[in-house]
Structure 1
Amino acid sequence: MDWLQIVFLSLIQGLTEFLPVSSSAHLILVPVFTGWNDQGLVFDVAVHLGSLLAVILYFRHELVRMSISWAGSWRAGSLIGALSDPDARLAWWVLLATIPVCVIGFIFHDAIESGMRSPIIIGLGLIGFGLLLSYADWRRRSGRSEYQLTLKDALLIGGAQALALIPGTSRSGITITAALLMGMSREGAARFSFLLSIPVISLAAGLEIVGLVSEPAAIDWAALSAGVLLSGVSAYLCIHYFLAFIKRIGMQPFVVYRIILGLWLLWVFW
């Protein structure tokens, strides 16, 4: 890998991981249009680690409170009573909402990897789920935060997250869409989506590391360090400015981008 490829892929991963535009779609399309060789599993782990560190750093205060309250919920005499603590409840909802994508991903991983990564499917996913995001953003009725979610809300959002296994969907996009349809505020929907990314990215990186153990490869430490740093910084800035942006303007600019990119892909590859 040359440095242009390292910088470009790191920034693409960091920026698109948390924007509702599908990071997997962009990473799949990069070699299609650049002719670059596959960056390899080691580098994939590095850029995902950068994104993971960014979201953990950004939500570090919330995560400390959630972890302490979640641990305390196990010691409480009644788990139902312990869920009256909003931080413990949010921690439980994040964990439970992660289950559907783990189950679906385990069952259908090979089928998705082998048969659903074409530019046509990406284009259709960008357009279809982009229109759904547009509808959810326009029709939102209340302003609930992530701390006001119910168990039913969390499971429905978690079920929607499993759709992100389809390239072009966007994990953040589909979870934000579902959360808006549940009556959450834009910022609350985005914050819950970002918290959901922590176990998902951790599990994805863990699977990639398992692949590395079974297929050891030479390691370019300079490239990996740059990947972690660039993806981490870009992801952190993306989270910060995205939350400020959607409070004032909403999701429609991202919808327009998705539709334009999707239509272009259909025009080129159909």
Structure 2
Amino acid sequence: MTWVEAIVLGVVQGLTEFLPVSSSGHLRITSALFFDRDAGASFTAVTQLGTEAAVLIYFAKDIWRIARTWLVGIVDRSVRSSLDYRMGWYVIIGSIPIGLFGFLFKDAIRETARNLWVVATTLIVFAFVLAFAEYWGRQSRTLEHFRMRDGVVMGFAQAMALVPGVSRSGGTLTAGLLLNLTREAAARYSFLLAIPAVVMSGVFSIPDVFEPAATGTAAPSGAQMVVATLIAFVIGYAAIAWLLRYVAHHTLYVFVLYRVALGTLVLALLMTGTIAAT
């Protein structure tokens, strides 16, 4: 991997991780368009450690409060009715689907699902699903109304993002809107829900990123991996604050239009042979 490649992909990861546009899909498309190869699923997973570090810092007070209340609630029944205690369980239970499917379909996720025909198609299809959720959802429920059912449904929605092009934040936001949560409530739970899955995926992918199994996959050096991850962290931190402000006052239709436009462009490039699907 070249330094330009590492820096560009780090920027792309930071910009797109928290937006409902699929960071893994963008990394795959960027690699194909500008570098004529695939940076690989492991590279994506490791750079996500940078953006997830941004989540840990941005929500540090909330995370500490939830974790502390959950631990106390294990032995003290008096705190079990609090939202923080319940949120601890919602995050734990909601993280199970992506962990299970990620383990069962690891090979397909790293190879078949990264085909650009798949990425472009999922960008477009799930754009319309997001549009329907934005139109249909009543947005009448805040985090105070959050229940275990919501956590499970959004957990399965997050698992769909194992396919590049779906979008982890897009899937969870869509599910949240269909459950009549406000955009801000769905976004906040989405950030918390990502922590266990993304951190575990990134840590376990570190050995693979330097020795990619897929033919034609670029292998970064340790220094390049660190720099790409740090860039993703800095840009990702700014993206969190922006997205929370944005969803509080705006619809998600701009992301729907962007996804359709990008997916259509990729399909056109594939049909004309400008870029290769694998």
* TM-score, normalised via structure 2 length: 0.87
Unmatched 5+ residue regions in structure 1? none
The equivalent residue for 1:56 is 56
SS at match of 1:55: helix
Letter in structure 2 aligned against 1:253: V
The equivalent residue for 2:190 is 193
How far did 1:119 drift? 1.3
The equivalent residue for 1:162 is 159
Greater CA deviation, 2-11 or 65-74?
Answer: 2-11
Letter in structure 1 aligned against 2:85: A
CA contact (8 A) 1:46 1:227 kept: no
The equivalent residue for 1:177 is 174
Letter in structure 2 aligned against 1:155: V
User: Structure 2: how far apart are the matches of 1:128 and 1:102?
Assistant: 24
Distance of aligned partners of 1:213 and 1:8 in 2 relative to their CA distance in 1, 3 Å threshold: closer
Fraction of identical pairs, as percent: 35
The equivalent residue for 2:94 is 97
User: Structure 2: how far apart are the matches of 1:25 and 1:38?
Assistant: 11
Letter in structure 2 aligned against 1:124: T
How far did 1:199 drift? 0.8
How far did 1:212 drift? 6.2
Letter in structure 1 aligned against 2:82: D
CA contact (8 A) 1:43 1:227 kept: no
CA contact (8 A) 1:21 1:254 kept: yes
SS at match of 1:195: helix
User: Aligned residue pairs: how many?
Assistant: 265
The equivalent residue for 1:9 is 9
The equivalent residue for 2:137 is 140
Letter in structure 2 aligned against 1:141: R
How far did 1:207 drift? 1.7
User: Structure 2: how far apart are the matches of 1:126 and 1:244?
Assistant: 24
Distance of aligned partners of 1:44 and 1:251 in 2 relative to their CA distance in 1, 3 Å threshold: closer
Unmatched 5+ residue regions in structure 2? 213-218, 272-278
Question: Is 1:243 paired with 2:244?
Answer: yes
Distance of aligned partners of 1:117 and 1:212 in 2 relative to their CA distance in 1, 3 Å threshold: closer
| Matches for 1:211-226 after TM superposition, within 5 Å | 211=208, 219-221=221-223, 223-226=224-227
How far did 1:146 drift? 2.8
Question: Is 1:23 paired with 2:20?
Answer: no
User: Structure 2: how far apart are the matches of 1:152 and 1:65?
Assistant: 22
C-alpha root-mean-square deviation of aligned residues, in Å?
2.3
User: Structure 2: how far apart are the matches of 1:180 and 1:107?
Assistant: 28
